[in-house]
């Protein structure tokens, strides 16, 4: 009898361990689904404007940013806390471009909501949205 109970306990322990491992794996997987998310990546206006000049913003891992309003290019830095990011020291070209909406030039920060980056100006007013493409 003693052998059976010992065998039974040994047989249950791996099953319990497997359950704990599966639960931990599920928790890690679901953590990536939380609304908000990592701001690092490439963000674009979708659908693209009729002119085909697509506003784009790239937020790099090291805190650098670059982008275009569809005509002018710009670069600078970003910092973040949670799902909110602030843009700093942004400089860019000032080419006069016909039929290009330069709303992205006024970006001061943004909030990540899933695969959408909601962009705001210095007053905190919403000025546009970009969508994750990479």
pLDDT digits (tens, 9 = 90+) for 52-81: 889 999 999 999 999 999 999 999 999 998
Region 82-93: mean pLDDT is: 95
Q: Above 60 in pLDDT, residue 91? A: yes
CATH top class, domain 41-132 = mainly beta
- Domain residue spans in the chain? 1-33, 41-132
Buried b (16+ CB within 10 A) or exposed e, 49-86: eeeebbbbbbbeeeeebbbbbbbbebebebebeebebe
As separate numbers, helices (DSSP H) first and strands (DSSP E) second, the chain gives 1, 8
Pick the residue with more confidence: 69 or 25? 69
What integer pLDDT is reported at residue 27 of this predicted model? 35
What integer pLDDT is reported at residue 74 of this predicted model? 96
pTM (two decimals): 0.71
């Amino acid at each position: 009898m003693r052998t059976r109970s010992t065998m039974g306990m040994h047989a249950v322990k791996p099953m319990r361990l497997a359950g704990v491992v599966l639960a931990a794996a599920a928790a890690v997987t679901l953590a990536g689904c939380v609304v908000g998310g990592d701001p690092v990546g490439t963000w674009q206006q979708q659908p693209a404007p009729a002119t085909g000049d697509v506003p784009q913003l790239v937020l790099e891992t090291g805190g650098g940013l670059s982008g275009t309003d569809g005509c002018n290019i710009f670069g600078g830095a970003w910092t973040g806390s949670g799902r909110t990011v602030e843009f700093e020291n942004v400089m860019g070209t000032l080419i006069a471009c016909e039929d290009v909406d330069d709303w992205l030039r006024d970006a001061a920060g943004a909030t990540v909501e899933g695969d959408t980056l909601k962009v705001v100006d210095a007053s905190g007013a919403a000025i546009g949205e970009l969508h994750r493409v990479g």
